[in-house]
Structure 1
Amino acid sequence: MAASGPVREALAGLPLVDHHCHGAVMADLDPPEFESLITEGEVWPGSGISPFDSPVGVAVRRHCAPLLDLPRHAPAADYLARRSALGWREVNRRFLTSAGAEAFCVDTGHAPHPVTGPAELARAAGAAAYEVVRLEGVAEAVLARGVEAGEYARVFRAAAEDAVRRPGVVAVKSVAAYRTGFGLDPARPTDAEVTRAARHALESGTGRLADPVLVRHLLWTAVDLGLPLQLHTGLGDNDIRLHRSDPALLTDWLRLTSGTIPVLFLHCWPYQRQASYLAAVFEHVYLDVGLALHFTGPARSRAILEEALEITPFRKLLYSSDAYGVAEFHHLGALSFRQGLAALLQDRVDADELSLPDALLIAAWTGRDNARRLYGLPASAHGRD
């Protein structure tokens, strides 16, 4: 049951900052296309297994159906028919506005479908939107254009600097967890090492930045750029090797980068406790549990948030949805965060483990203010404080 009381009321009216998300698809989706976007796995035709028969599918039918004027728990076929009848523009508008975000920080580096960029997302949501630059995309563009191996480091650095100077860019991101995992030599690679690795990458022609030396170089370039660095950790699709995405594997690199840029661990599940430890012992480390929240839905969001907050300093947890493709996930992530956090904070207030003023501060910090501070966002994007 959702929490009741002043904490829930405060969180219900709190404009969030979704500090990491993606765009929503700008097209009407047939049933297989929709199902493919609500799973990190695949749709298996003929198997009798549907993503609707999962926690996220149940959460969509329970918590998203009413926004499409359907009863709670509407059958999947009814849900998809109503979504199609409304059309993608209206569907996106309803779910994006219902998320109650004052700002979105949008990773523009992953777009296998035609999705809204920051400007389109902002218009549909009636909110502000900013850009997060994915550095692997910048590096791969440099390799695709062709460059002398000895010039790769300089050209990549220049391209990355150009990318982050675009208006509205507030952070950079790496998907090193997908490419090599985090079991990397923590030291900054030498020029000679980068040249050799770049030569091999150019000769291989794969177009994918997956060389451990080039990935290390990318992470250290991120440090030099001076913006907050978002790092995918934990849960992802079947391209990731989950055991290599444990953020604790970066401990030695975090020691070397202490005093430089904020490092933000995204998603984290099932490693939220490891990320919590790192945030507790390194000043520049922060975390969120986005993605896991909408895949578990409100039914389990509290449990995940409780583990993330066991020892994490309250100024170190941020909110994100990591929504991609279907705007339902922008709504469902926000709902799961609000309900899960309200429940655990209200229980602590009721048990006299936390004062109500402190609980309200924690809600504001984690939902909005920590991200505002880290990314230098305006105190209120739309005057809704």
Structure 2
Amino acid sequence: MLELPPLVDAHCHGVVPGELGLGSFEALLAGTAAPGTTLFDSPAGFAVRRWCPPLLGLEPHCTPAHYLAGRRDLGAYEATRRLLRGAGIGAYLVDPAGSGADGPVPAAPPPPDLTSPKDLGSAAAAPAYETVRLEPLAQQVADTSGTVGAFLANVAEAVHTAARTAIAFSVADTCPPGFPAGPPDAGPVRHAAGAWLARRAAGERLDDPVLLRHLVWNAVATGRPLQIRGPVGADPLRLTPFLHATAGLGTDVVLLRGFPGHRPAARLAAAFPHVYTDIGSAPVASALAETLELAPFGKVLFSTGAYALPELYVIGARLFREALERLVTDWVADGAWTPADARRVAGLIAAGNARRVYGLQGRPGRGRERAGSDR
């Protein structure tokens, strides 16, 4: 049995704080069911029924209706508390902005409220750290800025202020052609800001490529790690000019890529000293093995990408542990690795790399019972 330290979930979201019925719960599992079928007949559904019921005092593989009835009997908070504390995760990096179009997309519209990093950490009894999305930050500034000059000044101040407490910044890879090298000039930035402020409605999503580049380079200047969220199908290799431009500036870049973008992301992590890749929300053995074939072991981070359901933390952590144990056990059995090397490298991927990249050692989190503890 491979011994791992408490995992560091390097990319996740809050959970629904209230009760969920069968339909609303199922809608938050990955995928979309065909008419007359159920999402519980899926890898995620079977994993929930196998690993989550025992944490709630129920039999493994109980029916979905029985599981959700037991969940309701405990109450939403108690069920969430038991599930999160049983997941084996020792720290969380939480994106409080929700899934968005580039993250995990539920089959139904996202619920209006998810738990904050503080509330998630309290329920999990573990440190929880906040990542700050740049797009919503700019939207909030725009809602209170009447002129172009005020908007640009306030954006710079907002990014600088957020860097004091945020564990990292986050931005979507929707900026063609992949955040070109170097920040945009002041003239185009002012023009883009004026055009966007004139046409936008309050709360409208920022999609102007010049302003997104401007935001990204403001974030790079703070030195905080930058997560780049990739939509399914986006080729991370188009980020190469931006990665060349940011090399040596002191800002680490973490590519959040799931299948099938894990292979090119791993190549970029191997090519640039400041670039890392997470394993993503589907750490099956094949995807994990392909990532570790290409990326140095010190460049790979664990994450669940969990959204809305605490069960997704449980199964994400479980599938990762099983896949990693299967891989390193085979390599040890083949004589490619020693048992000591297997334990050391597995610990790096599970937690050590994230603690180093995000500077978690000695940094207080937002959990209640173990706040400030990074065991």
Q: TM-score, normalised by structure 1?
A: 0.86
Q: 1:259 aligns with which of 235, 239, 248?
A: 248
Matches for 1:33-112 after TM superposition, within 5 Å: 33-39=24-30, 41=31, 47-110=35-98, 112=111
Deviations 1:286-342 (A, max 9, x none): 01123223xxxxxxx111110111121111011111111110111111111111111
More off after superposition, 267-276 vs 337-346: 267-276
Q: 1:186 to 1:52 in 2, by over 3 A?
A: farther
Aligned-pair Cα RMSD in Å = 2.1
Aligned residue identity for 1:34: F
Separation of aligned partners in 1, 2:172 and 2:138: 12
Residues 14 and 114 in structure 2, CA contact (< 8 A), matched pair in contact too: yes
Separation of aligned partners in 2, 1:257 and 1:64: 42
Residues 27 and 114 in structure 1, CA contact (< 8 A), matched pair in contact too: no
Residues 169 and 225 in structure 2, CA contact (< 8 A), matched pair in contact too: yes
More off after superposition, 77-86 vs 206-215: 77-86
Separation of aligned partners in 1, 2:321 and 2:362: 20
Separation of aligned partners in 2, 1:379 and 1:370: 15
Separation of aligned partners in 2, 1:203 and 1:379: 45
Consecutive unaligned residues of structure 2, counting only runs of 5 or more, are 100-110, 365-369
Aligned residue identity for 2:353: N
Matched, 1:232 2:236: no
Higher helix content, 1 or 2: 1
Aligned residue identity for 1:24: V
Residue-pair matches, total: 354
Deviation at 1:152, TM superposition (A): 2.9
Deviation at 1:275, TM superposition (A): 0.7
Aligned residue identity for 1:102: G
Matched, 1:141 2:129: no
2:360 counterpart residue number: 377
1:248 counterpart residue number: 237
Q: 2:188 aligns with which of 180, 186, 193?
A: 193
Separation of aligned partners in 1, 2:176 and 2:60: 40
Deviation at 1:42, TM superposition (A): 5.4
Matched, 1:330 2:313: yes
Deviation at 1:54, TM superposition (A): 2.1
Residues 278 and 303 in structure 2, CA contact (< 8 A), matched pair in contact too: yes
Deviation at 1:183, TM superposition (A): 3.8
Separation of aligned partners in 1, 2:24 and 2:330: 40
Separation of aligned partners in 2, 1:181 and 1:366: 31
Q: 1:175 to 1:200 in 2, by over 3 A?
A: same
Residues 15 and 368 in structure 1, CA contact (< 8 A), matched pair in contact too: yes
Separation of aligned partners in 1, 2:56 and 2:299: 35
Separation of aligned partners in 1, 2:352 and 2:21: 39
Q: 1:136 to 1:356 in 2, by over 3 A?
A: same
Residues 278 and 301 in structure 2, CA contact (< 8 A), matched pair in contact too: yes
Q: 2:302 aligns with which of 319, 328, 334?
A: 319
SS across alignment from 1:310:
helix
Deviation at 1:81, TM superposition (A): 1.9
SS across alignment from 1:231:
strand
Separation of aligned partners in 2, 1:149 and 1:384: 43
Q: Identity over the aligned pairs, expressed in percent? A: 40
Separation of aligned partners in 2, 1:131 and 1:75: 36
Matches for 1:331-370 after TM superposition, within 5 Å: 331-370=314-353
Consecutive unaligned residues of structure 1, counting only runs of 5 or more, are 235-241, 294-300
Deviation at 1:74, TM superposition (A): 2.0
